[in-house]
Amino acid sequence: MPRVSQDHLDARRRQILDGARACFARYGYEGATVRRLEEATGLSRGAIFHHFRDKESLFLALAEDDALRMADVVAKQGLVQVMRDLLLVQEPSTEEHPADWLGTRLEVSRRLRTDPEFRARWAERSSQLTRATRERLLRQREAGNLRDDVDVTVLTSFLELVLEGLVSHLAMGLPADDLGPVLDVVEETVRRQRRTP
Amino acid sequence: MPRVSQDHLDARRRQILDGARACFARYGYEGATVRRLEEATGLSRGAIFHHFRDKESLFLALAEDDALRMADVVAKQGLVQVMRDLLLVQEPSTEEHPADWLGTRLEVSRRLRTDPEFRARWAERSSQLTRATRERLLRQREAGNLRDDVDVTVLTSFLELVLEGLVSHLAMGLPADDLGPVLDVVEETVRRQRRTP
């Protein structure tokens, strides 16, 4: 029954990642002890570290998993939609949190700043989002929706810089309820033509 | 001779701030011990804490001083110029570092993320840059240089978000040598009219 086994392994892996995501988001990397990871996943340390070599590997797998899910939204709806999803997280009334990757993203940003070893390990894995953003922009250009006076590489960096600013803004606990119109400006900047007033 | 005394006090205060800026930038807030602050300023702890109540007050005064100097550049040349200055810091060949406030700004960002008490104390002082940015944009609008289909508040937030993204980008040690054209896009976004290719 290799198929069933693989399904079972995948489900277990997903269970660990989902629990660990909540745990890292709540306690930060250092605060997410093995005991708290056990509680959050509902699994023993033996089960957890059967799937992931150590806490660092678990965190990297989670960060990679979240980056792939972000890249998926980018491919379908663009990086500005990812940023709009981040704003939703701030609204307490929202039951669904499409951007549950914010916690992971904040931890990645923090560790990139403080941990050169992590920076080296993450560098290889961080390209998915850039690639997804760039590919979507190229498709948009082909469809005639993108401005054509600026290189796609520059527009990709522009969107990534704004995303990083937004993540930092949220991490500092600054108010974000007025940022919707700012993201409209960002979106319009990469579009073909400026709307006339 | 009250005038001479005041000049002397001001010079001493400047000496402390300049030494402390380098010290905080190099070691971070926690790492900037009193002993290191003594070495960096060339003054005894007695002299330092004659001017500033404690390390926290010294750091807040420094952050406020740097924010005022940034606001000064913003008033004269705009926030995009502040960002261009930040890119210069990255170039090892540059002898002059117009953005020596980057170290302080990084520490402010980090502590805002991790220290709610600091967040409260900083909130009162952080409005200079926003005000300077907003006032410059209003002047630019009057001069007919600014786009007039978007509120100045939104454009101010847009520029601040990009600045925060840039600070975070540099803090993570990511390459910044290709960001000049990105800042061109940012600058052009707030201007009156899009350049045609």
pLDDT of residue A185: 95
| B141 and A CB contact within 8 Å | no
The pLDDT tens digits for B16-39 are: 999 999 898 888 888 899 999 999
Residue range A66-71: mean pLDDT, rounded: 85
Terminal-to-terminal C-alpha distance of chain A: 64
In this prediction, residue B181 carries a pLDDT of: 96
Which pLDDT value is given to residue A128? Answer: 80
Contacts of B167 in chain A (CB under 8 A): 168
Structural domains in chain B, CATH included, are 54-190 (1.10.357.10)
ipTM, 2 decimals? 0.81
- CB-based burial of residue B37 (10 Å sphere; 0-12 exposed, 13-18 middle, 19+ buried)? buried
A22 inside 8 A of chain B by CB: no
pTM for the complete prediction?
A: 0.83
CB hemisphere CA count around B142 (13 angstroms):
6
Q: Identify the pLDDT of residue B26.
A: 82
CA B179 to mean position of chain CA atoms: 19
Measured between CA atoms, the residue of chain B closest to residue A126 is B174
Q: Is the pLDDT of residue A94 over 50?
A: no
Residue B92's pLDDT is 53
Determine the Cα–Cα distance for residues A111 and A117; give it in Å rounded to an integer: 9
Question: What does the alpha-carbon distance between residue A151 and residue B96 come to, in Å, rounded to a whole number?
Answer: 31
CB of A172 within 8 A of CB of A165? no
Number of Cβ pairs closer than 8 Å across A and B?
A: 100
pLDDT tens for each residue of A154-173: 999 999 999 999 988 887 77
Per-residue confidence (pLDDT) for residue B110, from 0 to 100: 77
pLDDT digits (tens, 9 = 90+) for B99-158: 667 778 878 877 887 788 888 888 767 778 888 899 999 999 999 999 999 999 999 999
Contacts of A168 in chain B (CB under 8 A): 109, 113, 164-165, 167-168
